[in-house]
Amino acid sequence: MDSKIKPFLWFDSQAGEAAEFYVSVFKNSKITTISHYPESSPVKAGEVLVVAFELDGMPFMALNAGPEFKFNPAVSFVISCDTQEEVDGYWSKLTADGGKESQCGWLEDKFGLSWQVVPNLLGELITDPDPAKAGRVMGAMMQMQKIDMQALQDAYDGK
């Protein structure tokens, strides 16, 4: 996929490891190119400089540039899911090995990058024209870490 806009992620020194991890999580994903620091750089020659990769066909780039900048939840990537099995799978993989659960479908992976694992059902229920139904769904979601689709549906139905 050739896109004019690509997320570009700054890592201290884990760009290659992160790219390999992300392509293992998402189907239809691959590392496309890896460049290395040259002899004349301030970093050890041969270390990974930039990794280009695709996640489910979407292009990304990752840079090893040192510890000056860190990720924070002000920027996150949303994963739209059709089933609870998808939600559970992404949640499990992305919180593994040091990832952290947050609230309302948000998590931070082991590299500190924020993700939102969101069932499409949430958008459907929360935008219902009946404010009581939408409000119950919002209230239920606010109590969750990983989104539970059945609990959302139960809230919507007033159960």
List pLDDT tens digits, range 106-156.
999 999 999 999 999 999 999 999 999 999 999 999 999 999 999 999 999
Distance CA 96, CA 79 (A): 17
109 and 99 Cβ atoms separated by less than 8 Å: yes
Bridge partner residues of 76 (DSSP): 114
Q: Where are the domains of the chain?
A: 1-69, 71-159
What are the pLDDT digits (tens) for 13-57?
A: 999 999 999 999 999 999 999 999 999 888 888 899 999 999 999
Give residue-wise pLDDT tens across range 61-91: 999 999 999 999 999 999 999 999 999 999 9
Query: What's the topology of domain 1-69?
Result: 2,3-Dihydroxybiphenyl 1,2-Dioxygenase; domain 1 (3.10.180)
Say whether 86 sits in a helix, a strand or coil.
helix
Start-to-end CA distance of the chain, whole Å, equals 45
> What is residue 45's predicted lDDT score, i.e. its pLDDT?
84
Dihedral class, residue 121 (left if φ above 0, else alpha if ψ from -120 to 50, else beta) = alpha
CB 53 within 8 A of CB 20: no
Q: How many CB atoms lie within 10 A of CB 144?
A: 14
CATH number assigned to the domain covering 71-159: 3.10.180.10
